[in-house]
Amino acid sequence: MTTKKILDFLDRHRTEGPCLVVDLEVVRKNYRTYKRALPRTRIHYAVKANPAPEVLALLVRLGASFDVASIREVEMALRAGASAGSISYGNTIKKEGDISRAHQLGIRQFAADCPEEVEKIARAAPGAQVFCRLLTDGAGAEWPLSRKFGCDPAVACDVMRHARRLGLDPCGLSFHVGSQQTDPFAWQRALEEVVRVFHVLAGDGIVIKCLNLGGGFPSRYLRDVPLAADYGREILRALRSRFGNAFPDTVIEPGRGLVGDAGAIRSEVVLISRKSGSDPLQWVYLDIGKFNGLAETMDEAIRYPITSRYGRGKAVPCILAGPTCDSVDVLYENTPCRLPHDLKIGDEVLIGGTGAYTATYASVGFNGFPPLEVHVV
Amino acid sequence: MTTKKILDFLDRHRTEGPCLVVDLEVVRKNYRTYKRALPRTRIHYAVKANPAPEVLALLVRLGASFDVASIREVEMALRAGASAGSISYGNTIKKEGDISRAHQLGIRQFAADCPEEVEKIARAAPGAQVFCRLLTDGAGAEWPLSRKFGCDPAVACDVMRHARRLGLDPCGLSFHVGSQQTDPFAWQRALEEVVRVFHVLAGDGIVIKCLNLGGGFPSRYLRDVPLAADYGREILRALRSRFGNAFPDTVIEPGRGLVGDAGAIRSEVVLISRKSGSDPLQWVYLDIGKFNGLAETMDEAIRYPITSRYGRGKAVPCILAGPTCDSVDVLYENTPCRLPHDLKIGDEVLIGGTGAYTATYASVGFNGFPPLEVHVV
């Protein structure tokens, strides 16, 4: 699944440590696939998944909008050429000073999930559009969804009434079904509650003009996932069954879905060993781990496909770990990963599907290991 | 527990985001306390806990040695004035190129836990001293100790014999009882196995001159921990019961124990809310979380004391979370933390005991939030 463009780049460029290479062609293809799956839906790219300037600039050219998590991400999107009107500040947790700065930069869409946040928005971004985020359960998602974001339907109605009272535009409802959501029906379940809130608010004279269906669209790692078309079909079916053909504007916020499979990391085998003579499994230590790019292996949540051009022998299960002196820097142990039995120290491995949530997740230099190097091709 | 020096600094310096302040006086006091607890033991500071140049320079002046995890940490220690002879490359997972560079810089002590690593050391650092790390169980440690490092006694004997065969100096055995180890008897259990290996090797004519007792010495967070003197007494008792009064040289590698309680982070309350009207607990969101400094709250492993000068009311349990759009960025939920019920958005909180494993653990900019700012006073 690693593209020829990435392999060619890696052949031409030697690096000392691990490096991530992102292929823009794959991002372009993914964007078009989602556009085709949901033609009338606006796509807000979740900048946090991979804020590389080249990725942002490509998506600007393709006509994408942007979902940002912080004032710095607002600035990154603007720098890449995005218009302020195409940026939605989707984090429900914002300092008032950051809302104010975003407003000065022209941002007009802000998320909230409690009346307290609405008050900040009213003071710092008078007249802005407010999206209220509802709490969902995240069943079917491979990356854990906590109760951190969103509120229950009663609070959501309060939030929107409060927004109207304070002169804001209570224009949208949003939810998120959980990252790497492998069940296309997840949106259907979440929409039930959203539609209830929609009708209660309509009774109050608050017309919801836009539904933000969030992200969660998966990337293919080790296992097959449903296609963008499957998600599109189920989401449209769910919307039609609730609203008929006159449903509100819709927005999706893919991050992983657009860039996950666009990247591959080259890493080097630093050590291969066994803990005891009777140890059935060997330990393979790479120069990349939880602290310099692969944080999403936490609890073995995301399972990257790992291949090697070296070692052509039979694949055997191996425990995989990173290079730091930290005990938790083990990638796959409960479910070992399969690598050629004749893999050797110094051999390279390719870790596929690493375009999202890797480079920016890397630590500034834990144990003295530098952050992940990134190349966009 | 946050010192007057730290509070005075914070009063004089306004920062926009969260910041860590480290008080060198506390580091000095901790170093002396450990020196007193184990007067004949050499102290190797585990640089990974906090590699701030000022901390390293102070420890050089106090006469400490250094345990490093990577070639960059070798360079940091040298830059702070450490002599090459005082640096031990304690990571058992090293690239051969890094061993070679360290050897060129004068480093002569390397750890290994398998014959494969010994071969790299023999090629890249001929004649160097080798410490073999044994696998221990880590019972009693609050930060999880995996099977990542160390080997069983039979492999350890092979490692040392192999080192001798390749012209290296098989001079030491090492082990680690797990970070934030709250049981001073943990060393006693681990030493049993080490002593067995010691005697087997003596039978082969390999004399172990040094025992590296590792780190694990705790820092005081929310709960009391035993004193350095307790650890010293139990370690000495364990050594004497095994070796009489003629025990080998010993080394300890405290990291957290020297710098943990020397630091405090100032953070700001960004939002306080409830998910529903019937929610018994409020959510408090800070401008610092798992991705910009508090990674050790993973699985709520390390529980920092959090206080506020604002809000003087009764303390109530709160769910505490960080500022990013990531669902896993929740600090304390299973066991909520207690904060004044009249704490307000915009108030400051002080997170104590954050001198270790915070600044370097921070991500390069996940969600656009910058790494943690550090000041040493």
Are B116 and A345 an interchain contact pair (Cβ–Cβ within 8 Å)?
Answer: yes
Banded pLDDT at B15 (limits 50, 70, 90): confident
pLDDT for position B376: 96
pLDDT for position A8: 96
Q: How many CA atoms lie within 13 A of B59 on its CB side?
A: 37
Write out pLDDT tens, residues B334-353: 999 999 999 999 999 999 99
With residues binned 3-state (H G I as helix, E B as strand, rest as coil), the percentages for chain A, rounded to 5, are 35, 25, 40
Contacts of A48 in chain B (CB under 8 A): 324-326, 366-368
User: Count of A–B CB contacts within 8 Å?
Assistant: 221
pLDDT of B312 above 80: no
Closest CA in chain A for residue B293: A363
Amino acid in position B335: T
Contacts of A285 in chain B (CB under 8 A): 93
State the greatest distance between any 2 C-alpha atoms of chain A, in Å, as a whole number: 73
C-alpha span between A122 and A138 (Å, rounded): 30
Banded pLDDT at B143 (limits 50, 70, 90): confident
Q: What is the mean pLDDT of chain B?
A: 95
pLDDT for position B241: 92
Are B327 and A362 an interchain contact pair (Cβ–Cβ within 8 Å)?
Answer: no
pLDDT of B1 above 80: no
Write out pLDDT tens, residues B216-239: 999 988 888 999 999 999 999 999
pLDDT for position B69: 98
Closest CA in chain B for residue A141: B327
Comparing A168-182, A291-305, B300-314, which segment has the lowest mean pLDDT? B300-314
pLDDT of A222 above 80: yes
Is A132 one of the catalytic residues? no
Closest CA in chain A for residue B177: A327
Are A152 and B275 an interchain contact pair (Cβ–Cβ within 8 Å)?
Answer: yes
CA-nearest of A375, A369, A282, A277 to A329 is: A369
Are A275 and B150 an interchain contact pair (Cβ–Cβ within 8 Å)?
Answer: yes
Are A367 and B70 an interchain contact pair (Cβ–Cβ within 8 Å)?
Answer: yes
pLDDT for position B146: 80
Instruction: Flag whether the ipTM exceeds 0.85.
Output: yes
State the greatest distance between any 2 C-alpha atoms of chain B, in Å, as a whole number: 73
Q: What is the mean pLDDT of chain A?
A: 95
Contact B296, B259 (CB under 8 A): no
Banded pLDDT at A320 (limits 50, 70, 90): very high
pLDDT of A145 above 80: no
Q: How far is A10 from chain B (nearest CA, A)?
A: 20
Are B151 and A273 an interchain contact pair (Cβ–Cβ within 8 Å)?
Answer: yes
pLDDT over 70, % of chain B: 99
Which of the residues B20, B148, B360 would you substitute to probe the A interface, choosing the one with the greatest number of A C-beta atoms within 10 Å? B148
Closest CA in chain B for residue A46: B367
pLDDT of A246 above 90: no
pLDDT for position B24: 98
C-alpha span between B105 and B88 (Å, rounded): 12
pLDDT of A79 above 90: yes
pLDDT for position B309: 82
Write out pLDDT tens, residues B264-303: 999 999 999 999 988 889 999 999 999 999 999 999 999 9
> Measured between CB atoms, which of A147, A273, A287 is closest to B275?
A147
C-alpha span between A370 and A15 (Å, rounded): 13
Contacts of A92 in chain B (CB under 8 A): 271
Indicate the class that CATH gives domain B90-254. alpha beta
The domain spans of chain B are 90-254, 261-376
The Cα angle at residue B135 between residues B130 and B136, in degrees rounded to 5: 130
The architecture (CATH level 2) of B261-376 comes to Beta Barrel (2.40)
pLDDT of B142 above 90: no
pLDDT for position B102: 98
Are B370 and A72 an interchain contact pair (Cβ–Cβ within 8 Å)?
Answer: yes
